[in-house]
């Protein structure tokens, strides 16, 4: 991995974390547990797609997640753990389609995996580690519906991010 990729990952991690706060704040309007994360999902898919296309490393999501998690650790170490877990799970998921799909579709799957796994890791941390009482009211059907919405919104955000990264080459080198 080149120095410019490492710098890009650090900058992107900070941008995702800081920009995500806008969507996180907007998520307070969604009256469901996990609403804040649901509001962030398309943005996360978009940003992670840029990382997948521009950096092209098999562990890109983990590195971006570690950069985001380092900032998040200042506020909440448990969510930092959830961010890192989502990055690792996304990279493991992203390795599956690399040989059998086109580069564009593989990058889309890789990028969409981060918000998808992020939703589930954040839900587990909120429900079981922090013991958020709101999750005691949630039925499995509601959680499944939210997870399906997150999956769809992740793919939409990732598709837009892949197109953006392929179209605008000023973002740096990597796989295109």
Which domains are seen in the chain, by residue range? 3-18+33-171 (1.10.1760)
Mean pLDDT of the chain: 83
User: Tell me, what's the pLDDT at 166?
Assistant: 85
Q: For residue 169, what pLDDT band results from cuts at 50, 70 and 90?
A: low
pLDDT tens by residue, 114-135: 999 999 998 888 777 777 676 6
The whole-model pTM stands at 0.82
What is the b/e burial string over 51-88, where b = at least 16 CB atoms within 10 angstroms of the residue's CB? bbbbbbbebbbbbbbbbbbbebeeeeeebbbbbbbbbb
Q: In this predicted structure, what is the pLDDT of residue 175?
A: 46
**Termini Cα distance of the chain:** 16
176 pLDDT higher than 50: no
Q: Between 149 and 21, whose confidence is greater?
A: 149
The closest alpha carbon to 33, from 147, 156, 172, 154, belongs to 147
């Amino acid at each position: 991995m080149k120095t410019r990729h490492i710098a890009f990952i650090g900058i992107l991690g900070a941008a995702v974390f800081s920009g995500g706060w806008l969507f996180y704040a907007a998520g307070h309007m969604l009256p469901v547990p996990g609403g804040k994360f649901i509001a962030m999902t398309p943005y996360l898919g978009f940003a992670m797609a840029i990382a997948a296309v521009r950096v092209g490393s098999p562990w890109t999501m983990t590195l971006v997640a570690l950069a985001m998690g380092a900032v998040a650790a200042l506020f909440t170490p448990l969510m930092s753990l959830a961010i890192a877990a989502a990055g690792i799970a996304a990279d493991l998921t992203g390795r599956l389609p690399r040989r059998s799909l086109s580069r564009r579709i593989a990058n889309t799957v890789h990028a969409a995996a981060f918000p998808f796994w992020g939703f589930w890791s954040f839900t587990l941390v909120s429900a079981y580690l922090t013991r958020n009482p709101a999750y005691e009211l949630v039925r499995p059907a509601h959680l499944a519906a939210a997870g399906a919405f997150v999956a769809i919104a992740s793919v939409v955000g990732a598709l837009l991010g892949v197109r953006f990264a392929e179209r605008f080459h000023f973002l740096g080198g990597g796989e295109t």
